[in-house]
Amino acid sequence: MIAQDIEHVLISEEQLEEKVRELGATLTEEYREKFPLAVVVLKGALPFMSDLIKRIDTYIELDFMDVSSYGNATVSSGEVKIIKDLNTSIEGRDVLIIEDIIDSGKTLNYLVELFKYRKANSIKIVTLLDKPTGRKVDLKADYVGFDVLDAFVVGYGLDYAEKYRNLPYIGVLKKEIYSF
Ligand SMILES: O=P(O)(O)OC[C@H]1O[C@H](OP(=O)(O)OP(=O)(O)O)[C@H](O)[C@@H]1O
Ligand code: HPA
Ligand SMILES: [Mg+2]
């Protein structure tokens, strides 16, 4: 069915599960004495967040922010739009941003600057995927699941034109799907 649009599987369900456990254990240590506010960047980070938080064995608070800059394209528009803001004040909080992918870096750069302005005590980033070759601004995550090369990837939350978020693995989309 939808798997027919995938050229190849890049990261399997098993690899995802193992990595999420590893990241969860690391974050448990990092935040043991704190009560961080985990900010989930909608919509792409939802499946990663939902698996990751079950592997973090310390107190955390969750909040959600919906931002979008891709629309139906495979290249960032460069303009980050806030669709839904946080419900929680982040002044003085230790913020852990949970993301699915860093590509140009513009989404997270925008959020980090916003959270600094709002006087967070600390800001760290955990991202499942990092695509360093896509970078347009200087931004580094604190915790990275996997580096990916320069292909448009989908699945496990990541979309192309709002499709494929429900694939259980990360795959590379066939070129003919997005190039006309
Ligand atoms: O580093 P960047 O080039 O900014 O790209 C990364 C961002 O782009 C995607 O979100 P998108 O704006 O497509 O919204 P979505 O999560 O709802 O798909 C992805 O989930 C990241 O948030
Ligand atoms: O490779 C990608 N796939 C899906 N969404 C994305 N947003 C930035 N890069 C990507
Ligand atoms: Mg998207």
The CATH number assigned to the domain holding 20 equals 3.40.50.2020
Pocket of ligand 1 (CB under 6 A): 41-44, 68-70, 76, 99-107, 159
pLDDT average, residue stretch 76-94: 92
Q: In what order do the strands lie in the sheet with 6-11?
A: 6-11, 170-173, 153-154
What digits encode the pLDDT tens for the residues 16-25? 999 999 999 9
For residue 63, pLDDT beyond 90: yes
Between the alpha carbon of residue 131 and those of residues 82, 136, 153, the distances in Å are: 23, 11, 10
> Within a domain: residue 19?
yes
Is there a catalytic annotation at residue 150? no
> Within a domain: residue 113?
yes
* pLDDT, position 119: 98
Angstrom distance (rounded) from CA 174 to CA 146 = 21
* pLDDT, position 158: 97
What is the span of the domain harbouring residue 132?
14-151
> Within a domain: residue 55?
yes
What digits encode the pLDDT tens for the residues 8-52? 999 999 999 999 999 999 999 999 999 999 999 999 999 999 999
For residue 74, pLDDT beyond 80: no
For residue 70, pLDDT beyond 80: no
* pLDDT, position 75: 78
* pLDDT, position 97: 98
> Within a domain: residue 176?
no
> Within a domain: residue 79?
yes
Residue of 94, 100, 103, 130 with catalytic role: 103
> Within a domain: residue 124?
yes
- Per-residue confidence band for 180, with pLDDT thresholds at 50, 70 and 90: low
Pocket of ligand 2 (CB under 6 A): 70, 101, 103, 152-154, 158-159
For residue 101, pLDDT beyond 90: yes
| Between 168 and 1, residue with greater pLDDT | 168
Angstrom distance (rounded) from CA 8 to CA 164 = 14
What digits encode the pLDDT tens for the residues 121-172? 999 999 999 999 999 999 999 999 999 998 899 999 999 999 999 999 999 9
Reference 128, options 96, 101, 158; nearest CA is 101
Residues in the 5 Å CB sphere of ion ligand 3: 70, 159
Specify the number of domains making up the chain.
Answer: 1
> Within a domain: residue 164?
no
Angstrom distance (rounded) from CA 11 to CA 156 = 10
